[in-house]
Chain A
Amino acid sequence: MDLHVIFSSLLGLLFTPKLLGLMLLAIPLGIFFGCVPGLGGKLGIVLLIPFVYGMDPLPGAVFLLSMHAIVHTGGIVPSILFGVPTNGPEAPLLADGYPLVRNGQAGRALGAALSAAGIGGMIGVVCLALILPVVEPFVLSFSPIEFFWLAIIGITLISALAGKMLVQGLIVGCFGWLIGMIGLDPQTGVQRYTFNQLFLWDGFDVISGVLALYALPEMMQLGRGKGKREAGMPEIKPEVTKYTFAEVWDGVKENFRHWGLTITTAVMGTFIGMIPGLGGEAAGWMCYAFAVSRSKDPERFGKGAIEGVIAPSTGMNAKEGGGLLPTLFFGVPAGSGMAIMLGALIMLGIKPGPLMIVHDLPLVWSLIWAIAISNLLCTVLLLIVGKHMSSIAHIRANVLVPVVLVFALLGTYLAKDHWESLLVFAGMGAIGYVMRRNHWPRPCFIIGLVLGPTAELSFHKAFALHGLTFLVQPTSLVMMSIIAVTLFFNLRKTYRRKPGVAAAAHPKPTGGSI
Chain B
Amino acid sequence: MSRIAMTIAAFLFASVPLAQAADSAEEFYKGKTITYVVSTAPGGGYDTYGRLVARYMNKYMPDSKIIIRNIPGAGHVVGANTIYAAKPDGLTIGTFNTGLIYLQLLKESGVRFDLAKMSWIGKAASDTRVLVVSKSSGVKTVQELLDSSKPPIKLFAAGVGSAGYIDTRLAISALHLNVQLIPGYNGSEGTMSMLRGETQGTIGSQSSYTQFVDDGNGVYIMEAGGPADSKIPQAGQFAKDDNARQLLKMIAAESDVARLTAGPPGIPADRLALLRSIFMKAMADPQLLADAKKMDAPIAPATGEHVQQVIAEALQQTPQNLQLLTQAVKAGQ
Q: Which of the segments B6-14, B42-50, B139-147 contacts the partner chain?
A: B42-50
In the complex, whether A394 has a CB less than 8 A from a CB of chain B is no
In the complex, whether B299 has a CB less than 8 A from a CB of chain A is no
- Are A143 and B198 CB-contacts (below 8 A) given A190-B333, A276-B189, A346-B296? yes
- Are A277 and B189 CB-contacts (below 8 A) given A189-B332, A202-B74, A339-B44? yes
Residues of chain A lying within 8 A (CB to CB) of residue B41: 417
Contact B198 A465 (CB under 8 A): yes
Contact A140 B215 (CB under 8 A): no
Picked from B70, B154, B159, B191, the residue with its CB within 8 Å of the CB of A417 is B70
Residues of chain B lying within 8 A (CB to CB) of residue A346: 295-296
In the complex, whether B329 has a CB less than 8 A from a CB of chain A is yes
Residues of chain B lying within 8 A (CB to CB) of residue A461: 182, 184-185
Picked from A187, A343, A416, the residue with its CB within 8 Å of the CB of B44 is A343
Contact A416 B192 (CB under 8 A): no
Of B188, B211, B332, which is in contact with the most chain A CB atoms at under 10 Å from its CB?
B188
CA distance A198 to B84 in the complex (A): 15
Residues of chain A lying within 8 A (CB to CB) of residue B81: 198
The bracket for how many chain B residues form the interface is 35 or more
CA distance A330 to B211 in the complex (A): 10
Q: Which residue of A lies closest to B70 (CB)?
A: A417
In the complex, whether B88 has a CB less than 8 A from a CB of chain A is no
**Residues of chain B in range 27-62 having any CB-CB distance to chain A below 8 Å:** 41-44, 48
Q: Which residue of A lies closest to B212 (CB)?
A: A331
Picked from A184, A332, A340, the residue with its CB within 8 Å of the CB of B43 is A340
In the complex, whether A438 has a CB less than 8 A from a CB of chain B is no
Residues of chain B lying within 8 A (CB to CB) of residue A191: 109
In the complex, whether B152 has a CB less than 8 A from a CB of chain A is no
**Residues of chain A in range 189-203 having any CB-CB distance to chain B below 8 Å:** 189-191, 196, 198-199, 201-202
Picked from A143, A199, A330, the residue with its CB within 8 Å of the CB of B78 is A199
Min CB distance B77 to A, Å, is: 6
CA distance A37 to B195 in the complex (A): 38
CA distance A187 to B43 in the complex (A): 26
Q: Which residue of A lies closest to B181 (CB)?
A: A464
Contact A184 B188 (CB under 8 A): no
Contact B198 A144 (CB under 8 A): yes
Contact B72 A201 (CB under 8 A): no
In the complex, whether A45 has a CB less than 8 A from a CB of chain B is yes
Residues of chain A lying within 8 A (CB to CB) of residue B70: 417
**Residues of chain B in range 185-201 having any CB-CB distance to chain A below 8 Å:** 185-189, 191-193, 195-196, 198-199
**Residues of chain B in range 157-211 having any CB-CB distance to chain A below 8 Å:** 159-161, 165, 180, 182-189, 191-193, 195-196, 198-199, 211
Contact A189 B198 (CB under 8 A): no
Residues of chain B lying within 8 A (CB to CB) of residue A21: none
A457-478 toward B: CB 8 Å interface, digit per residue (1/0)?
Answer: 1001100110000000000000
Contact A355 B44 (CB under 8 A): no
In the complex, whether A12 has a CB less than 8 A from a CB of chain B is no
Contact B215 A353 (CB under 8 A): yes
In the complex, whether A225 has a CB less than 8 A from a CB of chain B is no
Residues of chain B lying within 8 A (CB to CB) of residue A353: 211, 215
Contact A349 B294 (CB under 8 A): yes
Min CB distance B124 to A, Å, is: 16
In the complex, whether A46 has a CB less than 8 A from a CB of chain B is yes
In the complex, whether B73 has a CB less than 8 A from a CB of chain A is yes
Contact B184 A460 (CB under 8 A): yes
- Are A351 and B211 CB-contacts (below 8 A) given A188-B332, A198-B81, A340-B42? yes
Picked from A276, A331, A340, A347, the residue with its CB within 8 Å of the CB of B295 is A347
CA distance A196 to B81 in the complex (A): 14
Q: Which residue of A lies closest to B162 (CB)?
A: A189
- Are A464 and B43 CB-contacts (below 8 A) given A189-B332, A339-B187, A416-B72? no
In the complex, whether B75 has a CB less than 8 A from a CB of chain A is yes
Contact B329 A189 (CB under 8 A): yes
In the complex, whether A333 has a CB less than 8 A from a CB of chain B is yes
In the complex, whether A487 has a CB less than 8 A from a CB of chain B is no
Residues of chain B lying within 8 A (CB to CB) of residue A465: 154, 182, 198-199
In the complex, whether B71 has a CB less than 8 A from a CB of chain A is yes
B268-299 toward A: CB 8 Å interface, digit per residue (1/0)?
Answer: 00000000000000000000000000111000
Q: Which residue of B lies closest to A47 (CB)?
A: B42
In the complex, whether A42 has a CB less than 8 A from a CB of chain B is yes
Contact B161 A189 (CB under 8 A): yes
Residues of chain B lying within 8 A (CB to CB) of residue A330: 188, 191-192, 195
Contact A188 B333 (CB under 8 A): yes
Of A199, A416, A417, which is in contact with the most chain B CB atoms at under 10 Å from its CB?
A417
Residues of chain B lying within 8 A (CB to CB) of residue A139: 192
Min CB distance A391 to B, Å, is: 34
Min CB distance B259 to A, Å, is: 15
In the complex, whether A238 has a CB less than 8 A from a CB of chain B is no
Residues of chain B lying within 8 A (CB to CB) of residue A331: 188, 191, 211
CA distance A351 to B215 in the complex (A): 11
In the complex, whether B110 has a CB less than 8 A from a CB of chain A is yes
Residues of chain B lying within 8 A (CB to CB) of residue A198: 73-74, 77-78, 81, 110
Contact B160 A187 (CB under 8 A): yes
Residues of chain A lying within 8 A (CB to CB) of residue B199: 465
Contact B73 A202 (CB under 8 A): yes
CA distance A349 to B187 in the complex (A): 21
CA distance A176 to B211 in the complex (A): 38
Min CB distance A96 to B, Å, is: 33
Residues of chain A lying within 8 A (CB to CB) of residue B182: 461, 464-465
Q: Which residue of B lies closest to A196 (CB)?
A: B109
Contact A416 B73 (CB under 8 A): yes
| A187-B183, A188-B332, A339-B187 given; 11 more Cβ-contact pairs under 8 Å | A140-B196, A184-B160, A187-B332, A196-B109, A198-B110, A202-B74, A276-B187, A340-B42, A346-B296, A347-B295, A417-B70
8 A-B pairs closest in CB distance: A189-B160, A189-B161, A340-B43, A201-B74, A332-B188, A46-B42, A188-B333, A198-B74
B-to-A contact residues, CB < 8 Å = 41-44, 48, 70-75, 77-78, 81, 109-110, 154, 159-161, 165, 180, 182-189, 191-193, 195-196, 198-199, 211, 215, 294-296, 329, 332-333
Q: Report 8 cross-chain contacts, Cβ distance below 8 Å, ordered by A residue.
A: A43-B42, A143-B198, A198-B110, A330-B191, A330-B195, A347-B295, A461-B182, A461-B185
